[in-house]
A and B are shown apart, each in its own frame.
Chain A
Amino acid sequence: MPIVMRLDRVMADRKMSSQELADIIGISPVNVSRIKTGRLKGIRFSTLTAMCEALHCKPGDIIDWMSDEEYIEAFGSLPSDED
């Protein structure tokens, strides 16, 4: 039951780059990329709050949940435990 990050969609809707978002939130562009690709184990509420304020959205717009079947249909295979 993987969690899927939709940050790239929200950023595209707001026409905001990774560098701009990183500067506003106060994290590195590398970490923004990791959030976009879902290569993280967790996200702090402070970071989530800052992202929602910068993108004028709700946490549910950035974080989504998919069943295993839906994830496989969308991405081909389930993510490994290291992701």
Chain B
Amino acid sequence: MAAFSAFSVANEAREVLFAPTPFYINGESIPSAVLTALAIRDVLALALSIACLIVYLNFCFDVVSTQSIFTRKQCRRFLVVGLLLLISSIVSITFDNLCAVQLPNDVSITAIGIFGFNAWTLVLALFALSLSAIFEYGRLLQSDVDAII
């Protein structure tokens, strides 16, 4: 998960900083609103990737320092990450449909894929939410075991 987050951060950073700006498709200039949407998408994706990476690194640090992984803070971290990814998936679907009306008639949405619904984001969101539920159950079991002397 850390490797995936790090890869996402690097990829999004590359797109934000170094990717060439597409101005024309099929001889038609792309509306500035669409270009702005592309830029916003890249920045948001970069921010989300960095957030996921930071959350995961904090998780690893806490595990090493406290020797306990089933804590309320860890559960909340996975819940926040899962919700962020889920919201990102929903936003990408919504904006994908909104940006479609901005394009010239002969350019299909798949040619640009403004936000482009990413199934992996949804899968990761469900995975993070599941982890949060599992860690919450583990926290309850841990507290029961700790209370038995």
Contacts and interface: CB of A to CB of B under 8 A. Distances in A.
Contacts of A55: none
Interface residues of A, number: 10
Contacts of A35: 149
Interface of B: 144, 147-149
A43 B144 CA distance: 11
11 contacts: A35-B149, A40-B149, A41-B144, A41-B147, A41-B148, A42-B148, A42-B149, A43-B148, A44-B148, A44-B149, A47-B149
**Which of B144, B148, B149 has its CB near the most chain A CB atoms (within 10 A)?**
B149
Interface of A: 27, 31, 34-35, 40-44, 47
A34 B146 CA distance: 12
Given A34-B149, A43-B148, 16 more contacts: A27-B149, A31-B149, A35-B149, A40-B147, A40-B148, A40-B149, A41-B144, A41-B147, A41-B148, A42-B147, A42-B148, A42-B149, A43-B149, A44-B148, A44-B149, A47-B149
B33 to A, nearest CB: 57
A43 B147 CA distance: 8
A42 B19 CA distance: 61
